[in-house]
Amino acid sequence: MNKSSADKSMISIGYGFKSQALAAKQIMIVLISARKKLALLLLSVVGLTGCVSVPPVPSASTESRSELAAHVNFLARPELGGRKPRTRGSRLARRYIEARFKACGLAPWSQATDYELPFGLGRNIVGVLPGSDPKCAKEMVLLSAHYDHLGKDETGKICPGAADNAAGVAVLLEAAKQISSLAQRPKRSIAFVAFDCEEQMLVGSLAFSCRDDVTKAKIAAVVNMDILGRDFFDVVRNTLFVAGTESYPALREQVCRFGTNAAIRVLPLGSDLVGPRSDHVSFESLEVPCLFFSSGPYRDYHRPGDTADKINFDALERSAKVVAGTVRSLAEGQAIQRETNAMACDANELRTVTTVMSEVSGHEEEAGVKKDDVAAFQKLEDQAQALIDSGRYGPLARKQLILDATGVLLPYVMPLESNGKPKMSEQEKEYLKEDLQFLQYLYLTYPREIMDGSRKLVGQIVRYHPGLFRGMPRFDFEIYDIPAQGLSLTRAGNTNSLRVFINQFSLSAEVKPTKWLIRAFRGNVSASLQEMNCDGTQEQLADYCLLQWISQGRNLTHAPALRKVLQAVNGEEPGDDPWKLVNRRVQRGGFKDATDWICQGLLSGNPDLTLAALYVARKDHDRRISAAVSRVIADRDLRADVRAFAIEMATTRAEKPVLLAMCDVLDDATPSWKPDYERFLDQSSPYATQPALKIIRPTVEKVCRDQAKTAKPIGDLARSGLRTATGKNFGGDASRWRGWLESHPKEKSL
Ligand SMILES: [Zn+2]
């Protein structure tokens, strides 16, 4: 994450790719940057105008359809202002839900005295229906829906969030009423949960999931609802998607049967295809069924047009029947069979994809699909159909299908223009699409790890409750991993070739003091692809790996990946301490000391090795390093990006020998960078077909084109380096520069 973007943003998601010039050439695209101080959050809790009271719970039992409508109409009314957390509208929504929980006779969660479980940034609401069987009453089924929404959009219009997720809460309340009034209560307990802050990176459910009394609870299953009562893309009618049944085929059959009985089509999908889009993912590490019911995104999603009058209450009532049936059956106490072999790759999901894609592309106008995109929808349908026909739906094919689907659907399911900024350019949209695809790729690869990191972050925020005057220890979480097939080593005599690519994902957060003694909370999400490449002798490869390891210091997160590469190159377990290996290398090679060995790398003539050595040599002020760096700068046969990095380094060192070397290349017109240097673009590279690389390739190509256009000649870099280091300006006149440098009394630093 580069510093300037980290300073500006509260939440920024981005990815970059780091080439061999490491920090010198990191490209980072910041997606979402919003500066938000907690001060503003606190000040924004100002009452709304207008008067609204929470309607009493009707005494006579009314028909389910009209009750659902009453719930949605109340929660989505303009007076609730879009139910943004910490507002009066949110409080009114809470009172409404709590009154209905009370009427159902639900008990508070665990030791709580009422239904509200505050967590600093918001309040979850939990009511429990105790199980009837003493043997399994300790086991708990969670039924959840988030009650928060966005508040207003950037133009000040209220986003009422009727389908997202007043409708989900309505079904929650209806299920609570129906199940609690049964003559025979289910054997397991059921917790009815209305989460807050879902729209803020799932903070409400993450905070709930890290409570002690939740981690200790015996959760048997989770059923979450988000977005109900509308049609996917406004065209896929009378359909309820269910995600999370992939390891529970018996459960999936049962849910589909509930759908048939209720006259609504139930379409199963893999959980990871849906991605971390709602609260159930906060519980996925529990290895119990985590089902997600949704009718999917629609054209008014996250917009002021998401109003109650557009909800199809007949479809909502049918959805409610499926959800209530599923929860009752999960709570009935039979063991829930998990089949790990059934995981994900089944044809049900493919049929869902073909069905949905053909219905969307068959009603392109109604669905709002652009003419140019229709072909992409059809291609996805064909891709899924081909997989059904071939009968070969393996993990890799599945990953590719999901990433392609993400790319096609994203512009439609993420309103790209409603983040309060000027209209995005086509290029920015393209970047954003790629970034989100890339994040989806990482989530597909590391779902548990990413959610664990998020849970830890939220746990820390809840524990320290950072605010205007309260700090918090810095939070850092990182994944740094070589994926399967991400490491390749080919040997052919003296031309060995090492290619490694590394997935990197990090979450960080800190509270920094600002002016006025007030503290500001900042968090960052970053993701990148990094690479390690070296061609050369076996020994050069080993030196390269060792230098890479040293340059990362004692970073414990990075060490395992670096050790793995070194082990592959040397064929032996490298131990924990890279400096022990350096000492052995120094002895074996007959070097005077480590600096001597680093100089040998600098002067190897091998661009990859020289670059790695330069990176390590940055902090070494030995004269031998200066002499070697001078020779790197002056070596016109060496790859120009390596020499450019040496000039950059020499500029900060400002020592006489390196500055004199810069005088020698003032006439050098070689461009300092060429697209050939970028190994990510090498089509013959063993990882060229990796899904991650396919996603970022268009961006890498564009960035490389731009970079090639703006790359300065080596001579220009030397001239501006000399100016910066000395404060003088003799232009391209080498003899005047030399004269000035020679007459300068100090031998070493200027
Ligand atoms: Zn939602």
pLDDT in tens, 588-623: 999 999 999 999 999 999 999 999 999 999 888 899
How much of the chain, in percent, has pLDDT values that exceed 90? 56
CA distance 214 to 455: 13
C-beta pairs of 106-111 under 8 Å, 24+ apart in sequence = 106/176, 106/180, 106/192, 109/191, 109/213, 110/213, 110/217, 111/213
Distance 152 CA to ligand 1 centre (A): 15
Q: 472 is written with which tokens?
A: 């918090």
Q: Give pLDDT, residue 611.
A: 96
Q: Cα of 704 to ligand 1 centre, how many Å?
A: 38
Cα(220)–Cα(337) distance, integer angstroms: 11
Residue of 246, 229, 343, 369 lying closest to 295 (CA atoms): 229
DSSP per-residue codes, 356-386: HHHHHHHTHHHHT--HHHHHHHHHHHHHHHH
Burial string for 454-481 (b: 16+ CB within 10 Å, else e) reads: bbebbbbbbeeebbeeeebeebebbbbb
CA 278 to ligand 1 centroid distance, Å: 7
The H or E element spanning position 428 is: helix 426-445
d(CA 171, CA 750) in angstroms, rounded, equals 74
> What's the rounded mean pLDDT across residues 194-222?
93
Q: How many A from CA of 180 to the centre of ligand 1? A: 26
In 465-577, alpha helices (H): 538-551, 559-570
Strand, coil or helix: 568: helix
> What is the distance in A from the centroid of ligand 1 to the CA of 501?
35
Q: Report DSSP state, residue 156.
A: S
The answer to whether 415 and 301 are in contact (CB under 8 A) is yes
Alpha-carbon distance of 665 to 414, in angstroms, equals 51
**Phi and psi (nearest 5°) for 663?**
-60, -35
Q: How far is the CA of 281 from the centre of ligand 1 (A)?
A: 13
Contact 206, 283 (CB under 8 A): no
Mean pLDDT of 332-341: 77
Which of 42-51, 343-352, 676-685 shows the lowest mean pLDDT across its residues?
42-51
In angstroms, what is the span from residue 230 Cα to ligand 1's centroid? 13
502 has a pLDDT exceeding 70 = yes
What is the 34 CA–ligand 1 centroid distance (Å)?
Answer: 20
Q: 168 CA distance to ligand 1 centroid (A)?
A: 9
| pLDDT, mean over the chain | 86
Question: Using one digit for the tens of pLDDT, what is the confidence trace for 160-172?
Answer: 999 999 999 999 9
User: How far, in Å, from the CA of 226 to the mean position of ligand 1?
Assistant: 5
Q: How far apart are CA 534 and CA 430, in angstroms?
A: 32
Look at residues 132, 255, 147 and name the one whose alpha carbon lies nearest to residue 197: 147
Q: Which pLDDT score is estimated for 414?
A: 66
Looking only at the bridges linking them, the beta strands covering 218-225 and 290-294 are parallel
Residue 684 has pLDDT above 60, yes or no: yes
Percentage with pLDDT > 70 across the chain: 89
Q: How confident is the model at residue 409 (pLDDT cuts 50, 70, 90)?
A: confident
Name the 3-class secondary structure at 353.
helix
- DSSP-based three-state secondary structure for 30: strand
* Per-residue pLDDT reduced to its tens digit, 212-268: 999 999 999 999 999 999 999 999 999 999 999 988 989 999 999 999 999 999 999
Cα 378 to ligand 1 centroid, rounded to whole Å:
28
pLDDT band, very low/low/confident/very high, at 394 (cuts 50, 70, 90): confident
User: What is the mean predicted confidence (pLDDT) over 299-303?
Assistant: 90
Q: How far is the centre of ligand 1, averaged over its atoms, from the C-alpha of 315 (Å)? A: 18
The residue assigned the tokens 């709002």 is 368
For residues 515 and 483, is the Cβ–Cβ distance under 8 A? no
Considering just the CA atoms, what is the radius of gyration of the chain in Å?
A: 30
pLDDT value at residue 435? 81
Q: Check residue 16 and give its pLDDT.
A: 34
Distance of CA 306 from the midpoint of ligand 1 (Å)? 12
More confident residue, 539 or 62: 539
**Binning pLDDT at 50, 70 and 90, where does residue 35 land?**
very low
Residues linked to residue 310 through DSSP beta bridges, in sequence order = none
Quote the pLDDT of residue 648. 94
* pLDDT at residue 750 tops 60: no
**pLDDT: is 290 or 399 the higher one?**
290
* Ligand 1 midpoint to CA 225 (Å): 8
Q: How confident is the model at residue 464 (pLDDT cuts 50, 70, 90)?
A: confident
Question: Which residue in 505, 397, 444, 52 sits closest to 281, CA to CA?
Answer: 444
* Res 47 pLDDT > 80: no
Residue 181 has a CB neighbour count (10 Å cut-off) of 11
Rounded to two decimals, what is the model's pTM?
0.81
Residue 501: phi and psi, rounded to 5, are: -125, 145
Q: Residue 404's pLDDT is what?
A: 87
Q: How far is the CA of 433 from the centre of ligand 1 (A)?
A: 20
Q: Prior bond to 419 cis, omega within 30?
A: no
Max CA distance (Å), the chain:
100
By residue count, the chain amounts to 750
- pLDDT value at residue 417: 53
* 490 Cα to the center of ligand 1, angstroms: 49
Beta strands (DSSP E) in 394-518 are 475-481, 487-490, 496-513
- Between 695 and 543, residue with greater pLDDT: 543
Spacing, Cα 174 to ligand 1 middle (Å): 18
| Residue-level pLDDT at 6 | 30
Centre of ligand 1 to C-alpha 563, Å, is 43
CA of 235 to the centre of ligand 1 (A): 19
195 Cα to the center of ligand 1, angstroms: 10
Distance from residue 166's CA to the centre of ligand 1 (Å): 9
Ligand 1 centroid – CA 468 distance (Å): 29
The string of DSSP codes covering 275-298 is -S-SGGGGGGGG-S-EEEEE----
How many angstroms separate the alpha carbon of residue 167 from the centre of ligand 1? Answer: 10
With contact defined as beta carbons under 8 Å apart, do 723 and 648 qualify?
A: no
**In the predicted structure, residue 687 carries a pLDDT above the cut 90:** no
> Helix H segments across 603-639?
607-617, 623-634
DSSP 216: S
Q: How far is the CA of 188 from the centre of ligand 1 (A)?
A: 27
**Average pLDDT of span 653-658:** 88
pLDDT at 516: 65
The CA 165 to ligand 1 mean position distance, Å, reads 5
pLDDT of residue 177: 96
Confidence of residue 341 (pLDDT cuts 50, 70, 90): low
The alpha carbon of 134 and the centre of ligand 1 are apart by a number of angstroms equal to 35
Ligand 1 centre from 146 Cα, in Å?
A: 7
Distance 609 CA to ligand 1 centre (A): 50
